[in-house]
Structure 1
Amino acid sequence: MKLAIFDFDGTLFPKETFPLLMNHLKTHPNYHQNYRHFITGLIPVYVAYKCKLCPEKTMKEYSMRRYLSSFKSTSKEEINQFFYELGDSMSTKLSDSVVQRLEQHRKDGYYIMLVSGAFEPLLHSVTKNISFDRIIGTSIPFNLQKGKQVRIDPIQGYRKKEVVQEQFSNVEVDWANSYAYGDSYSDLDVLELVGNPVAVKPDSRLSEVANNRKWEMMV
């Protein structure tokens, strides 16, 4: 089996997802009243991150937990609907060049995966017109209750590599002829899994690695 593994933010989708999530919450007719509570709790951690007192990974995990706390006592159906509304508007803004690569890999018989730290309902909504063999994102605990801490397992950094390896622990994978696509240095662990890593409009740190190792870059 040969894999083609795609990142989402900055790769399949050209922009970062979280600012769009924030705006969706801020302007949503049913949940906008929760935005102030979300943002006031986020600001101290974000300031600490900008002052290099808080690691990016910690800041992102806290942001996601804080965001989900806006939906405590909300039903699974209502939460899914919230994410599907945003995903529907994002589905027409995917990267044409990356989608073309994905479709070519499908024609060539690759197993197509989307592995991202974004929330799973959003990923399924945005990619509703694309056929993936497997979509792995950050799961939402649908038993959110007031007074209880939100617990999530963000699929980011080294965790991406772990979930891919877990998925194929009992399957023989042709890693040397597999592909992986990512835009960020945080995607490095997944990119190093395969024989054909592709840096998509990479950030400065990933660009340096890609140049030094003669990796393909899509700009």
Structure 2
Amino acid sequence: MVAAFFDVDGTLTRTNVLMPLAWYQRAHLPPWRYYLWLTGLLLHVPIYWLVDRIDRSLFVRLFYRRYAGLPAEPVRRWHHHHFLTILLPLIRKEALACVRTHQAQGHRIVLVTGNLDFAIAPLAEWLGADLLAASLEERDGLFTGRLMSSPMVGKAKAEAVLRYAQQHDIDLNRSYAYGDSVSDAFLLALVGHPVAVNPDRSLQRLAHRNGWQIVSWR
């Protein structure tokens, strides 16, 4: 079987890992508390940016600590109910067309994301795709802010795809992968048809060196 593996943030959608939490907080906090919370987040952005440059896995773990204390089920339910109004308009048109083309050819669609499972699950369901994503730990109905597995970034993405391919009899040599960041390079290197989408500078150099396809999606 042939599969098409899609990174989500920056590839399939015009989003990043910070946005789902910001959307939820904006909907549930009084305006003054939301802007206080947002100010605190923005003050940490330079630190997050620096950590992300050094170790994306560490950045993801640090940022997801901000979910600590939030009610797990209401957060999941809110993201599911607001998918059509918030996330759906942020899907890149070319990406959606690409997904539908793969599906028309009988290819299995798999979303592989560093974002959290509940934030991307509505998108996967709407697309008819499988989802590989990390989950947050819960205790007494609240998120602890700790991940239950390694963040789905870098080598962890590739390892998850390898396990998935073995479980579902996927021929990786005939399969496709789409990513926008150099952290997706391990994933792209697994398949016979890697595609760099709006690649960052490092991924663009790597794609040119390896002869990978490069595309520009708006």
Using the alignment, how far apart are the partners of 1:7 and 1:30 within structure 2?
30
With over 3 angstroms needed to count, the CA separation of the structure-2 counterparts of 1:3 and 1:31, relative to structure 1, is farther
Using the alignment, how far apart are the partners of 1:181 and 1:128 within structure 2?
19
Which runs of structure 2 are paired with 1:77-116 in the superposition (5 Å)?
Answer: 77-85=73-81, 87-88=83-84, 89-116=86-113
Query: Structure 1 residue 37: deviation in Å?
Result: 7.0
Which runs of structure 2 are paired with 1:136-175 in the superposition (5 Å)?
Answer: 136-143=132-139, 150-153=146-149, 154-175=151-172
Using the alignment, how far apart are the partners of 1:101 and 1:113 within structure 2?
13
- How far does the alpha carbon of each residue in 1:107-139 deviate from its partner, in whole angstroms, 9 at most, with x for none? 11111101101111111223443111x111121
Query: Structure 1 residue 211: deviation in Å?
Result: 1.2
State whether structure 2 residue 28 is matched by structure 1 residue 29: yes
Using the alignment, how far apart are the partners of 1:11 and 1:68 within structure 2?
24
2:15 corresponds to: 15
Using the alignment, how far apart are the partners of 1:21 and 1:128 within structure 2?
17
Q: In 1, are the aligned partners of 2:8 and 2:113 still within 8 Å (CA)?
A: yes
Q: In 2, are the aligned partners of 1:86 and 1:122 still within 8 Å (CA)?
A: no
Query: Structure 1 residue 28: deviation in Å?
Result: 2.5
Percent sequence identity over aligned pairs: 23
2:6 corresponds to: 6
Mean Cα deviation higher: 113-122 or 44-53: 44-53
Unmatched tracts of structure 2, length 5 or more: none
TM, length-normalised to structure 2: 0.82
Equivalent residue of 1:82, what SS? helix
1:188 corresponds to: 185
Using the alignment, how far apart are the partners of 2:143 and 2:99 within structure 1?
43
1:56 corresponds to: 56
Bigger fraction of residues in strand:
2
Using the alignment, how far apart are the partners of 2:42 and 2:60 within structure 1?
10
* Number of residues of Structure 1 aligned to a counterpart in Structure 2: 213
AA in 2 matched with 1:4: A
Q: In 1, are the aligned partners of 2:112 and 2:132 still within 8 Å (CA)?
A: yes
Query: Structure 1 residue 39: deviation in Å?
Result: 7.1
Using the alignment, how far apart are the partners of 1:52 and 1:183 within structure 2?
15
Equivalent residue of 2:74, what SS? helix
Unmatched tracts of structure 1, length 5 or more: none
Bigger fraction of residues in helix:
2
Using the alignment, how far apart are the partners of 1:113 and 1:51 within structure 2?
28
RMSD (Å), alpha carbons: 3.1
TM, length-normalised to structure 1: 0.82
With over 3 angstroms needed to count, the CA separation of the structure-2 counterparts of 1:115 and 1:29, relative to structure 1, is same
Using the alignment, how far apart are the partners of 1:40 and 1:102 within structure 2?
37
Query: Structure 1 residue 13: deviation in Å?
Result: 0.3
Using the alignment, how far apart are the partners of 2:144 and 2:98 within structure 1?
43
Q: In 2, are the aligned partners of 1:49 and 1:55 still within 8 Å (CA)?
A: no
